[in-house]
Every structure is written in C-alpha cells, then in structure tokens.
Amino acid sequence: MVRGYKIATLGSHTALQILKGAKDEGFKTIAICKEGTEEPYKSFGVADEIILVKSFKEVPKLEKELIKRKAVLIPHGSFIAHMGIDEVMNLKVPYFGNKKILEWESDRAMERKWLKAAGLKLPKIFKKASEIDRSVIVKFHGALGGKGYFIANSPRDFRRKIKGHEKDTYQIQEYIIGVPMYIHYFYSPITDELEILGFDKRYESNVDSLGRISARDQFALESIDPSYVVVGNVPVVLRESLLPEAFRMGRNVVEESKKIAPPGLFGPFCLETVVTPNQEFYVFEISARIVAGTNPYIQGSPYSQLKYKEPMSTGRRIAREIKTAIQKKKTNLIFH
C-alpha cells in the first residue's frame, strides 16, 4: 500500500511521534541519530532502522543511501538548528515540505512581510532603542537562543540591560501582555483542507519558575535574569469562541504563502501567538513545520478526536498525507 516508501527523520524534537505515526500508517521507519542519543528510539520501538552519525552535519553524506532505501525525510525543528539552512535546501532526498518557504520563515523581515500581508496582528518592532516608548522584549538570535532575553520599558532601561551584549544580534519587540498560545495546523494540498490539530504552551526555564519566588525574594535575587529556554510543552484547549479566528488566521497564512512561494505552505505549521485580554491574537512567529508542542498529543488531541476515529498525532497526519498522495499518484504535490 505504501509502495516500499520509508519514513526517515533525525532522532530529536518530534521524531518519536513522526516515526510512530508512520508505523501506524504502515511505513517502515528510519531514525538518524547522533551517537549516544539512540536509546529512546530503540526503547520505544519506533525505528525499524537506526543510522548513527557523529553529527547531523553528516546527513547530506547519507543521501545516496537514503534515496536507495526510498526514504522520505520529514523535517522538524532540529533540521535547520543542527544541519543549517543551505544543507537542508540542497538535500536531494524526497522531503515533505516546501523548501522555498524556509527562506521566508528563517528571515525575520520576510516572515513579517508574509504575516502582515496575511492580515495578522504582529507586535511592533523597534529599530532603534531610542524609540522605545512601551514595554519591549529584547530577543537574541543564534547561539544565545532563548537565553538572555530581557524586558525593558525605556531607552535608559534598555541601555542598562544590554551591557555586554551590544555586539550580539537581537530584535526589540513590543511586549504583548497576554497568554502564549501555540496553534498547531495541518494543511492538505491534496484536499485543500485546513485542520487545527491542537494547541500548547511552553514550559520555559527559568521564566516559568520565577513566579514561585515571592516578590521580596525576587528583589533579593537581583542578579537573576529571566530566560526562555524551552524544556517541555503543556497541552491547552482554546476558548471555543476564539476558534473561528484561529481558523481564519491559518487560512490567510496558507493563501498568502501560495502567492509568495508557490505552491505554498503545506503539511504541519504553527502560529506562535500571545492572546490579550481583548481576545486578540498577536503573532510573534510562524514555524512552517511540525512543532514540538504537538508531542503531548501522540494519542491525538481533543480536536483530532473530534475529526478522526483513531488516535491522530501530527506525526501520523503527515504519514497519512504521504500515503494518500502515493495512492492517488499525487506525490509531486508533497515531495520537494
């Protein structure tokens, strides 16, 4: 039924649910693991084959082997983070996703252009520190990841807190007061259907534990800076009357992507938002691939349970799409 195709991915991020979902749909699976990190993929029995590498940078060298095995690569957050965008762009193994979108996703200015054109609300960006006239979050890029972020509320406050990091690349973003909400979508180019598969919020160190210290002690620990290093994800359900807006935003993003990077975004993607007390979604980022916030839903989410008769994780939904494309002879729509 799956004509000998195998599902392959890097052993990290969302590989467990991707490989489990693939097996549930009848595919054989391959996990590419960094030496010393293969235990979960063995222990949970999700990989039919494990290929060990010293570093994910070696993956392009495996191309011939993967093509010979009829592997389809499923990208996730570790691909760009550990292989690099050029290496991913140049991969010749069938790849589930539109690589042209990667360029839009990984360049902050292009990403904003896309989301703005889709009619979404975005936090204001301050080009110069002297323009800061409200609370802002200062985000560092690259190696610093979620570390070192800080909140400032005036140019003076900013200059005090940026000391020692003036040379790093960062963005000054309006700080939106509200709650974070990560929306997990799936768009099928075969049926033109947009699904919502779930929501999550992140569990970030140390910011999610600062509230466990009294204000008095927070003052005493003056030297503690908040950081936003993700260590886990927490499932959330959305207030139901906000669902129509969540669908509208997802649909607009897909339609706009068809204009900027034909044939457009497809498969899983995520809008990373903050929802204000006025029930407005501010989108601070898009991930044009599966996000790790879908990991709590290996047995399906409340939303996938409404739609599917069997447990449907995002990983399994990807495999289902590939299977449908193989059966309908439409793999040209989804392998890039």
Structure tokens at 19: 């490989």
Cβ-contact 72, 322 below 8 angstroms = yes
Site membership for ligand AMP, residue 228 (CB under 6 A): yes
Q: Does 235 bind ligand AMP (CB under 6 A)?
A: no
Candidates 233, 294, 304, 313; binder of ligand AMP (CB under 6 A) is 233
Tokens of 59: 């993956």
CB 305, min distance to ligand AMP, A:
22
Instruction: In angstroms, give the least distance from the CB of 42 to ligand AMP.
Output: 18
Nearer to ligand AMP, 187 or 284 (CB): 284
Q: Which window, 39-47, 226-234, 242-250, 304-312, contacts ligand AMP (CB under 6 A)?
A: 226-234
Do residues 283 and 178 touch, judged by C-beta distance below 8 A?
Answer: no
The length of the chain, given as a count of residues: 336
DSSP secondary structure string for all residues of 267-301: EEEEEEEEE-TT--EEEEEEESS--GGGGGGTT--
C-alpha distance from residue 236 to each of 39, 185, 276 (Å): 29, 14, 16
Q: Which of residues 59-98 bind ligand AMP (CB under 6 A)?
A: 77-78, 81
**5, 8, 9, 12: which one binds ligand AMP (CB under 6 A):** 12
- Applying CB under 6 A, among 23, 28, 112, 139 the residue interacting with ligand AMP is 139
- Residues from 280 through 319 that contact ligand AMP (CB under 6 A): 284-285, 292-293
State which of residues 40, 84, 155, 180 lies at the interface with ligand AMP (CB under 6 A). Answer: 180
Non-local (6+) Cβ contacts of 136 within 8 A are 126, 151, 152, 153, 158, 172, 173, 174, 175
Residue 11 in contact with ligand AMP, rule: CB under 6 A: no
Binding positions for ligand AMP, 115-134, rule CB under 6 A? 123
| Alpha helix positions (H), the chain | 15-24, 39-43, 63-68, 77-83, 85-90, 99-106, 108-117, 155-161, 207-210, 215-220, 243-260, 302-307, 314-327
Q: Residue 171 Cβ, how far from ligand AMP at the closest point, in Å?
A: 9
CA distance 334 to 94: 9
CB 38, min distance to ligand AMP, A: 14
End-to-end CA distance of the chain: 21
Residue number of the CB closest to ligand AMP reads 77
**Which of 140, 175, 308, 335 is the binder for ligand AMP (CB under 6 A)?**
175
C-alpha closest to that of 71 among 39, 96, 97:
96
- Does residue 173 touch ligand AMP according to CB under 6 A? yes
3-state secondary structure (DSSP) of residue 89:
helix
User: Does 28 help bind ligand AMP (rule: CB under 6 A)?
Assistant: no
Closest CA to 267 of 108, 95, 115, 20: 95
Task: Identify which of residues 135 and 324 has a Cβ nearer to ligand AMP in the complex.
Answer: 135
Number of residues that bind ligand AMP (CB under 6 A): 26
Residues that bind ligand AMP (CB under 6 A): 12-13, 77-78, 81, 123, 137, 139, 146, 173-176, 180, 202, 204, 228, 230, 232-233, 272, 274, 284-285, 292-293
